[in-house]
Structure 1
Amino acid sequence: MMKEFAVPPVVFPSGGNPGSSSGVQQRRVPTAPFQPPRSAASGIPFMSFDIGSAVTSTSSASIYGGPIVGGVGAPGGASFEDEEPLLDELGIHPDQIWKKTRAILNPLRVNAAVHEDSDLSGPILLYMCLCLFQLLSGKIQFGVILGWIVVSSIFLYVVFNMLAGRNGNLKLHTCTSVVGYCMLPVVIFSAVSLFLPQAGAVRFAIASVFVFWATRVCTGLMSALADGGDEHRGLIAYACFLIYTLFSLLVIF
């Protein structure tokens, strides 16, 4: 004989049978996060999207302060191709330096129109070259050369304005630029002196040629760039001669 077991009835917390449809509260199915429950009364579809990608794109656009152009975010909506080169932002123009340097190479034909826009990047480059050649000859004169260039520029500026009087319109920036670019013959002499004997008349003869070269170019530029320079051309030439003789003696000794 089979023995019957008494099975206790199953009682749900809601107090009813899950199969019944009246008066029974069914369990709610969990929905995905950030999604409202679908209801037939609303009738508005809701599109799911990835929160992480949206936040990343929004934050990157807000950090760069503009739209993303060409795949790279740039400030103000401009790309990196529209930016100026680094040398131009620093005020260094290699083409301009080369034109001014090439104008110094011909002492018989001085082109003053090229030197109307004065700059200090070319004179600093020539100053470094002169210091380098002096270093190769065993002379460490960085501070001495820099100090003499500053003093020479101020000296020529004061002398010219005193000679011109009220008509003197020479600026110190222009004077420093002209004195620095006219240092090119002295730089060449410093490079040539590395292969010359330390003593002898040949060294002084070659030095005199480069000194007259630098004096003529500097005098022509000063007379052309400033008003009233033609009237005192001889005195300006004498001041320039003293300046470049001083630098040539620094190279010789």
Structure 2
Amino acid sequence: MSKQFTVPPVVFPSGGGVNPNVGNINQRRVPTAPFQPSSSAIPFMAFDMGSVPSSSGSLGGTISTSAVSASASFEDEEPLLDELGIHPDQIWHKTRSILNPFRVNPAAHKDSDLSGPIFLYLSFCLFQLLGGKIQFGIILGWIVVSSIFLYVVFNMLAGRNNGNLDLHTCTSVVGYCMLPVVILSAVSLFMPQGIGVVRYATAGVFVVWATRSCANLMVALADGVQEHRGLIAYACFLIYALFSLLVIF
């Protein structure tokens, strides 16, 4: 026996017979925007940009002002070489003062630096490499030992009270006076290998040149060591003779 269920009739109302309280159930609801800014919202986050002309104008003015200040500060910055402590004009002035062994300018070496000596050391290593000698480690080690050796010898001669030459200045002077040895290394590339007397004589001239320049600078930059000029010159001669042996052999 089948059961009978009472189903209410389904009524499809027309457009004109819509119940005003219920509304049209077939009519789709219009979606609302997910974000509707209120009147107190931030001006630049509003959708209507035309409603806040004053705020946008002030924002653009701020950006342009900051851009101008940034460009002005960039122009006022020092060059990259000056920030790294490398002054090409100063290096050239100090190097040129070594070219005349009889008239060295001590005033040019008052401000010591290591950029010029490093350039000369690399040039010396390069010329030795062109001659078939890979001596980067040897040259670097001898440079450090030579600078410390001359610094200790000078302070022992000048005494504790008169020794006013620091290690940085000593390293700078020794490095710049390496210029004759660097020139010797470049000249040796074009010299015949068989004639030993010519090579020894040429090396002796450049070693005396470097020794005289270094001794004059050391005495001029320090105080109270005029009577020890010969001993300082002897220490400088040992240093540059040692480097010249790398060129000869």
Return the offset for 1:136. 0.4
Q: 2:225 aligns with which of 202, 226, 229?
A: 229
Partner of 2:89: 95
Q: CA RMSD in A?
A: 3.3
1:169-184 matched pairs, under 5 angstroms: 169-184=164-179
Mapped to 2, the partners of 1:242 and 1:15 lie a distance apart of 114
Mapped to 1, the partners of 2:150 and 2:239 lie a distance apart of 9
Q: 2:122 aligns with which of 123, 128, 139?
A: 128
SS at match of 1:69: helix
1:194 aligns with 2:189: yes
Residues 183, 48 of structure 1: alpha-carbon distance in 2 compared, 3 angstrom cutoff: same
Residues 204, 12 of structure 1: alpha-carbon distance in 2 compared, 3 angstrom cutoff: same
SS at match of 2:49: coil
Q: Which amino acid aligns with 2:108?
A: V
Mapped to 1, the partners of 2:244 and 2:128 lie a distance apart of 11
Count of residue pairs the alignment pairs up: 216
Mapped to 2, the partners of 1:8 and 1:218 lie a distance apart of 113
Partner of 2:42: none
Q: Which amino acid aligns with 2:212?
A: R
Q: Cα deviation per residue 1:119-162 (whole Å; 9 max; x = unaligned)?
A: 11100000000000000000000010111111111010000000
Q: Structure 1: where are the runs of 5+ without partners?
A: 1-6, 17-26, 38-45
Partner of 1:23: none
Which of the two has greater helix per residue? 2
> Which consecutive aligned stretches of 4+ in structure 1 deviate over 6 angstroms post-superposition?
none
1:139-218 matched pairs, under 5 angstroms: 139-165=133-159, 166-198=161-193, 199-218=195-214
Q: Cα deviation per residue 1:5-59 (whole Å; 9 max; x = unaligned)?
A: xx9672445449xxxxxxxxxx99x79964559xxxxxxxx99218xxx99xx8x
Q: Which amino acid aligns with 1:200?
A: G
Return the offset for 1:91. 1.1
Q: What is the TM-score of this pair, normalised by structure 1?
A: 0.76
Return the offset for 1:79. 3.6
Q: Cα deviation per residue 1:165-213 (whole Å; 9 max; x = unaligned)?
A: 1211110000000000000000000000001112321111111111111
Q: Structure 2: where are the runs of 5+ without partners?
A: 1-12, 23-28, 40-45
Partner of 1:4: none
Mapped to 2, the partners of 1:138 and 1:154 lie a distance apart of 29
Q: What is the TM-score of this pair, normalised by structure 2?
A: 0.77
Mapped to 2, the partners of 1:158 and 1:88 lie a distance apart of 32
Mapped to 1, the partners of 2:122 and 2:216 lie a distance apart of 25
Residues 13, 97 of structure 1: alpha-carbon distance in 2 compared, 3 angstrom cutoff: farther
